[in-house]
Amino acid sequence: MHKPKIGRIHYLNLYPIFFGLERAGFECEYLNGCPSEVNGMLRRGLVDVSPSSSIEYLRRQGDYELVGGHSISSRGPIKSIFLISKRPVAGLNGAEIGITWQTETSAVLMEIVLKKFYGLEFTPRQENGIAPEQALNKYDAYLSIGDEALAIAGSQAAAGRYVYDMGELWHQETGLPFVFALWIARKDWAGRDKEGFAAFCAALDKARDFGLSRLDEAVSVLAGENRQLYQAVGPEEIIHYWRNIIYGLGEDEKKGVELFRKYARELGAL
């Protein structure tokens, strides 16, 4: 029997899910990477299924099978996708904005927010391996995601920088949740190994329920695995962060995906 290869993103937002999967006894192989790397692995067939950027799904929907009922979404602030700026967002017309290389969906979301909601034009500059402080010295603003964003948001605000939560800006304008990631499988695997795909979907359901019901245990395990992040963010804030995330995929989230599709297509991002 084929052992599924699962793309694994070591960000806090997915920690409860993988915490649950590891304890579910599901036979699989993990390949690790940041969101943009995992997208590439799924695209090239190096993994069978993964939590991948919603823009990856929308760009290549014909290649993928959606795992129903799962996402990484927020209705308002997501708390880990921040545009950090030297000046108010409305004053960023003509700005140069650094963008972490690890993101794909959030870069398109930022383009939608700035161009469609604020009527601004800007020049994006993708950066690889640059520290946020270096990026902000170099550019007018910087788009930070994931654990880095969680860890630095407070210090950047305290330093007098403007910190904008991209999930919050989307929700203020649309009234809908924003779906940052979806669980998607390659159709060639899901179609060839229907039993394996069904088993994975069932395991993912159980993993989510298990992980979200044991957040105190999960954060204690995290403390031993990533002490630096645990100390930078703090256990209470980490649990609050997990409870704020929408891990399901209901009708409102689906509407959010469709609106994201519409705007992304209008801006030529699809």
Task: Write down the architecture of domain 81-174 according to CATH.
Answer: 3-Layer(aba) Sandwich (3.40)
Query: In the chain, what percentage of residues exceed pLDDT 90?
Result: 80
Domain boundaries, the chain: 5-73+179-264, 81-174
Note the pLDDT of residue 39.
92
Helix (H, G, I), strand (E, B) or coil at 49: strand
- CB count, 10 Å around CB of 33? 19
| pTM (predicted TM-score) | 0.93
Dump pLDDT digits (tens) for 191-220. Answer: 999 999 999 999 999 999 999 999 999 999
Using CA atoms, how far apart are residues 245 and 79, in angstroms rounded to an integer?
9
Token pair for residue 102? 């690890």
CA end-to-end distance (rounded Å), the chain: 36
Is pLDDT above 80 for 230? Answer: yes
The radius of gyration of the chain's CA atoms, rounded to the nearest angstrom, is 18
Q: At what angle do helices 105-112 and 166-174 cross, to 10 degrees?
A: 50
Tally of CB atoms within 10 A around 3:
11
Asked whether residue 266 carries a pLDDT value surpassing 80, the answer given is: yes
Mean predicted confidence (pLDDT) in 243-269: 97
pLDDT tens per residue, range 12-50: 999 999 999 998 888 899 999 988 899 999 999 999 999
Each residue of 68-93: pLDDT tens digit? 999 999 999 999 999 999 999 999 99
Lowest-pLDDT choice from 55-69, 138-152, 190-204: 138-152
Res 1 pLDDT > 60? no
CATH of 5-73+179-264, one of 3.40.50.300, 3.40.190.10, 3.30.450.70, 3.30.70.260: 3.40.190.10
**Structure token digits, residue 91:** 């004053």
SS3 105: helix
Compute the average pLDDT of residues 255-261: 98
Would you state the structure tokens that stand for residue 71, as one six-digit string?
């996402």
Q: Can you name the residues that pair with 165 across neighbouring β-strands?
A: 82
Backbone φ and ψ of 9, nearest 5°: -105, 120
